Amino acid sequence: MKIAFFSYHSYDKKFFEQENSKEFELHFYRNPLDLDSLKLAEGCDAVCVFVNDDVNKEVLDGLKEMGVKHIALRCAGFNNVDTDYAKEIGINVCRVPQYSPNAVAEFSLALIMTLNRKTHRSYMRIREDDFRLSGLLGFDIFGSTVGVIGTGAIGAKFCKIMLGLGCKVMAYDVKENEELLGLENFSYASLDDIYAQSDIISLHCPLFPSTKHIINKDSIAKMKDGVMIVNTSRGALIHTGDVIEGLKSKKIGYLGLDVYEYEKSIFFKDLSDTIIEDDAFARLQTFSNVVITGHQAFFTETALTNIAKTTYDNLHKLSLGEECLNLV
């Protein structure tokens, strides 16, 4: 099988090459997959894409015309692919639903601890020989009420981490996770109850029309004053403008983002010599109680190894006509 990788970085190439036990023919392109780069997939059986590649109807038509049979997402989310149309024209779409739930769950905790204890600010002060503690006051995580929206593999891991820290955990999901039921200090609740009672709210749900902008001016108004919101899932779960207003009014006391609603033009690039034209992103960067990271929650050796292995396994099964459990 010949595979074209789009939007690749050096770490993608490293892990996909070292895990290539199937001896697939690999071609790596830094270009995102779009109508302009489509021709690079000529002669390939499959394309491998990431979160910000826009696989719309026009791109799918082009892939079909060139004989591409499979689209392999090296991520869990698939909102950037028109999956209904892909199915209609006979192109398989597979994904990596679980690469390392621990990695993302642990990173969510890292954002919480950084926001709370302000270790990022302390680090910069110490670098300048400023050893004052003023402005670095935090609170005990122990005993806090944590609201978790989405209890799939990652959300469930996060719930257990926060329970281990002595928190009360309230969760919402359209489908309850049986492995969490009966755990001490854990309960499922309505979104309104989570908004009203949580000191910390962490997002772990996929992006669907029903979850887009689940954090908005109306839901923010129902939250505790000074609430902490953390998002390591999908950027568009949060209405950026509404969150900025929440920060300005001090309704939101802390905000941790590893994903951003309009990250496609920013993340995974070196923009240090350019001017970022996204005014909303620039405004977020002005708040001292906001921590933004560049979609790195998944970024561990374990996760990258599993992503490569699962992607190859998906494509191998599809090439043999065998059942692939990770079809979208």
Question: How would you write the pLDDT of the chain (328 residues) with one tens digit per residue?
Answer: 999 999 999 999 999 999 998 889 999 999 999 999 999 999 999 999 998 899 999 999 999 999 999 999 999 889 899 999 999 999 999 999 988 999 999 999 999 999 999 999 999 999 999 999 999 999 999 999 999 999 999 999 999 999 999 999 999 999 999 999 999 999 999 999 999 999 999 999 999 999 999 999 999 999 999 999 999 999 999 999 999 999 999 999 999 999 999 998 999 999 999 999 999 999 999 999 999 999 999 999 999 999 999 999 999 999 999 999 999 9
Q: Is 67 left (phi over 0), alpha (psi -120 to 50) or beta?
A: left
Q: Which of 74, 95, 239, 295 is catalytic?
A: 295
Q: How buried is residue 178: exposed, middle or buried, by Cβ count under 10 Å (0-12/13-18/19+)?
A: exposed
- Residue 95 a catalytic site member: no
Going across the sheet that includes 46-49, the strands are 25-28, 2-5, 46-49, 70-73, 92-94
- How many angstroms separate the CA atoms of 213 and 211, rounded? 6
**246-249 long-range CB contacts below 8 Å, 24 or more apart?**
246/217, 246/220, 247/284, 247/287, 247/289, 247/290
**Is 234 among the residues known to form the active site?**
yes
Active-site hit among 204, 234, 239, 261: 234
- For the entire predicted model, the pTM comes to 0.92
55 beta partners:
81
Q: What DSSP letter does each residue of 194-213 carry, written as one string?
A: HHHH-SEEEE-----TTTTT
58 is catalytic: no
For residues 43 and 30, what is the distance between their CA atoms, to the nearest angstrom?
18
